[in-house]
Structure 1
Amino acid sequence: MLRARLYLALGLAAACQDPVVPLGPENQVTVTNQPGLFRLQAKDMNNVIADTSFIWVSADSQARILHNSLVTHGETDLHVLDARGVEIYSHELSVVYETDTLTDKGAPGSWLVRFDIKAATGEIDVTLETP
């Protein structure tokens, strides 16, 4: 009986050790990045790890964030920094499936939109737009 439990525990531990993989073509990543509108979509993620950043131009001091992401395993964090480098939004995408919210107010100009993806499984669909 003890031996059976040991084999079961070893089997479960091995199953949880899927290799982490970078975000790649198999994730069908699409990016729309134009002044006033940014969107990132990534599909079929399976234990993906990535730290991906984009420069996005916002003529406004605030942006609307819409996300319909579904991260069932791991974690994906979204960080938005304004033109002065001040973080005006930080949120884990896997906590809530649908979000329609605003960033804090910040300096218009070139903003940094950063996705910190940590062993994530699921899909990302995030849009930033000026109100």
Structure 2
Amino acid sequence: MRKTISFSTILLGLAVALLTGCGDGNLIGPDNELEVTNAIDQFQFQLTDLVEVDDTRSYTWENTGTQATIDISQAITGGSAFLTILDADGTVLYQEDIADDSDTTTPVGVAGGWRIEVRLESVTGTFNFRVQKTT
């Protein structure tokens, strides 16, 4: 007896294979105790107990100044956590791996709604950072 497989069964099998083979890893969850303070002229972000987390978070932060200081504290043991900061015109003022722990001051940018983006790629560990208007 000859068995036939329907086209829809083949498509279902392919979909399952693709979805399980292309997992995005772990996302930020309650165990990571995400804390964000987004206030005028001061932004803070903290994550703990990350285990191979892949996720991206983006925020609009109001900076009434034209520069900001960046303070980073981290205990990242694996992966990469990228911090990108763009001014109100969309100019990239800062783009570094948080694991490099590079505290600095941004170049001069345009005041207004700045974008802060955190992109995690298989990150294991804990980190926090603060971005604050330069006085």
TM-score by length of 2: 0.79
Q: Which residue of 2 aligns with 1:128?
A: 131
- 1:40 counterpart = 2:40: no
- CA-atom RMSD, angstroms? 1.1
- 1:107 counterpart = 2:77: no
CA offsets 1:54-73 (integer angstroms, 9 cap, x no match):
10000000000000022110
Larger radius of gyration: 2
- 1:20 counterpart = 2:25: yes
Q: State the identity as a percent.
A: 28
Q: Give, as a single letter, the amino acid of the residue that structure 1 aligns with 2:46.
A: Q
2 CA distance for matches of 1:20 and 1:76? 14
2 CA distance for matches of 1:109 and 1:83? 5
How many residue pairs get aligned? The number is 111
Q: Which residue of 2 aligns with 1:87?
A: 92
Out of 69, 73, 88, the residue aligned to residue 64 of structure 1 is: 69
2 CA distance for matches of 1:93 and 1:103? 15
Report the CA distance between 1:100 and its aligned residue. Answer: 2.6
Runs of 4+ in 1 over 2 A off after TM superposition: none
Q: Give, as a single letter, the amino acid of the residue that structure 2 aligns with 1:21.
A: N
Report the CA distance between 1:95 and its aligned residue. Answer: 2.2
